[in-house]
Amino acid sequence: MLSGGASIDASFTALPYRRLAEAALARAQDFKVTHADFRFERVRHQGIRVRDGSLQGAGDSEDLGFAVRVILNGAWGFAAGMVLTRESAVQVTETAVRVAQVAARMTTEPVALADEPVYADAEWVSGYQVDPFAVPLSEKVELLAGWSGDLLGEPAVAHSSVFVQQVIENKFYTDLAGTTTTQQRVRVEPVVEVYGADAASGRFDSMRTIAPPVARGWEYLTGGAHDWGSELAALPTLLAEKLAAPSVEPGSYDLVIHPSNLWLTIHESIGHATELDRALGYEANYAGTSFATYDQLGTLEYGSPIMHVTGDRTVDHGLATVGYDDEGVSAQSWDIIRDGVLVGYQLDRAMAHTWGADLNGGRSNGCAFADSPGHIPIQRMANVSLQPAREADPSTEDLISQVEHGIYIVGDKSWSIDMQRYNFQFTGQRFYRIQNGRLVQPLRDVAYQATTTDFWGSMEMVGGAQTWELGGAFNCGKAQPGQVASVSHGCPSALFRDVRVLNTAAEAGH
């Protein structure tokens, strides 16, 4: 199965991963393991940075290798290698077996995996048109330097920067059950930022684009998927408005939040909180556990009755969209919060074996992922998204029209949340005072603060499908040793009542 128009890179398919897999799995069988899988990866990165119209730096990197997992005597064993020979594959497998033998003495709950259909020689390619690595570096630099140089010529702009990350990720997976998958994902993240100062106040600040990172190719920067011309042209004016804007008066406000800001609140307060390993207390090293514990499944009022949140590995151009996860599980979509109530979690095959009967019919929902061949797959976030209004189709302007005293928030910036994913604070890029249903002036120094359930419980309206957008990030961190994953979050604009707003400039002095 191919999801996009491209095919898997011939330079990847020429690598000897099938021979290595055959040797590794054959050796694993010698030890009578109950499960073994082999994963081969090549991850290529390129970053380009331009400042004030000139190239500041460009770098390429490649991560190539393979990993073997086994279950023996009810325990996991894992090892990885980089030498692409059958002998090395056998040695890595033997190391994984030895790890399982040692781990079995300390394992109190035997590991078992939920069943999954077998997928024989399945292929999947993400939906993109132009491989960014096929575009000459000079051509890319010319485009980005032109953007930066044009912005630098504007009166409000003292400096301008452009940074673009590009990734092409290839994975081959096979296991003793007979599943074999080969996949290719492409993603890009362009960020343009302008900087300036206000002579009267002495303020220095910046304004950044709100275009999200996406699972697309270089066409994202040159085609019609995003209107870069309009967004870049607006940056100098937006920066000037921000520098001159009055500072917000702290207090209680109604908020209309644009998807370019709300995606991050979803990520931190819903996405991480509904990872089942956190909810069970298994994951506590990196950013804590979760208030949304398993005993509250089906009863926790996460938010207002209009709140419908899904986990999705299938949405077009999502950063966490795949054909199959790193345990050979086919991509799916499922409910996490329905009618405001917690009804699901994100889980992998081991968790699904124990907890999945009440969550996904006893099956994993495809949330195992490793960020490199040297790391073991862990439970990672899907594209967790808030769904738009079902019956009506209100616009962002319709939501603003319902507010007498409030703030409209656009773009993400800094954030903070506690180790239980419960108490949080978020800022943004742009803020506008709302009076009597209209935007009346820009504001600055705004942060909104709440608990997760109070915030989502205050959500009175969500926009229609016309307001729904995918946001996301390349750098979601989890686990020890740390792993990084890319993930998208879709949402409409939304209206929240009586949310506490802080003045960040005043708070900084406390």
What pLDDT, in 10s, does the model give residues 342-370? 999 999 999 999 999 999 999 999 999 99
pLDDT of amino acid 3: 52
State which residues form the domain around 237. 10-244
Are residues 229 and 278 located together in one domain of the fold? no
Give the domain CATH number at 185: 3.30.2290.10
Read out DSSP for 2-21? -SSS----HHHHTSSHHHHH
With a cut of 50, say whether residue 315 has pLDDT above it: yes
Would 61 be classed as within a structural domain? Answer: yes
Which of the four pLDDT bands, split at 50, 70 and 90, describes residue 237? very high
Contact indicator for 254, 403 with CB cutoff of 8 Å:
yes
Whole-angstrom Cα distance, residue 110 to residue 104? 8
Side by side, the strands of the sheet bearing 309-312 are 341-342, 333-338, 309-312, 383-386
pLDDT of amino acid 70: 98
With a cut of 60, say whether residue 130 has pLDDT above it: yes
Would 4 be classed as within a structural domain? Answer: no
Burial label for 437, CB within 10 Å (0-12, 13-18, 19+), is: middle
Are residues 468 and 378 located together in one domain of the fold? yes
With a cut of 70, say whether residue 5 has pLDDT above it: no
Q: What pTM value is reported for the model? A: 0.97
What pLDDT, in 10s, does the model give residues 135-178? 999 999 999 999 999 999 999 999 999 999 999 999 999 999 99
Are residues 312 and 387 located together in one domain of the fold? yes
With a cut of 90, say whether residue 119 has pLDDT above it: yes
Q: What percent of the chain has pLDDT over 90?
A: 94
Answer with the one of 195, 214, 244 that is the final residue of a domain: 244
Whole-angstrom Cα distance, residue 463 to residue 466? 8
Structural tokens at position 232: 């870049």
- Mean predicted confidence (pLDDT) in 105-129: 97
pLDDT of amino acid 2: 42
Mean pLDDT for the chain overall: 96
Looking at the 3D structure of the chain, how many domains does it have?
2
- Mean predicted confidence (pLDDT) in 487-493: 98
Phi-psi region of 32 (alpha: psi -120 to 50; beta: other; left: phi over 0): left
With a cut of 90, say whether residue 285 has pLDDT above it: no
Would 439 be classed as within a structural domain? Answer: yes
Contact indicator for 362, 59 with CB cutoff of 8 Å:
no
Are residues 43 and 192 located together in one domain of the fold? yes
**Chain-centre distance of CA 155, in angstroms?**
36
Answer with the one of 217, 244, 271 that is the final residue of a domain: 244
pLDDT of amino acid 1: 40
- Mean predicted confidence (pLDDT) in 250-256: 98
Whole-angstrom Cα distance, residue 200 to residue 434? 26
- Mean predicted confidence (pLDDT) in 297-309: 98
Would 5 be classed as within a structural domain? Answer: no
Which of the four pLDDT bands, split at 50, 70 and 90, describes residue 199? confident
- Mean predicted confidence (pLDDT) in 290-308: 98
Which of the four pLDDT bands, split at 50, 70 and 90, describes residue 4? low
Are residues 407 and 271 located together in one domain of the fold? yes
With a cut of 70, say whether residue 510 has pLDDT above it: no
Whole-angstrom Cα distance, residue 26 to residue 36? 10
pLDDT of amino acid 187: 98
With a cut of 90, say whether residue 55 has pLDDT above it: yes
With a cut of 70, say whether residue 27 has pLDDT above it: yes
Sequence letter at residue 33:
V
pLDDT of amino acid 480: 87
- Mean predicted confidence (pLDDT) in 209-238: 97
Q: DSSP alpha helices (H): ranges in 177-227?
A: 219-222
Burial 186-207 (b: 16+ CB within 10 A, else e): bbbbbebbbbbebeeeeeeebb
Whole-angstrom Cα distance, residue 9 to residue 182? 11
3-state SS class at 128: coil
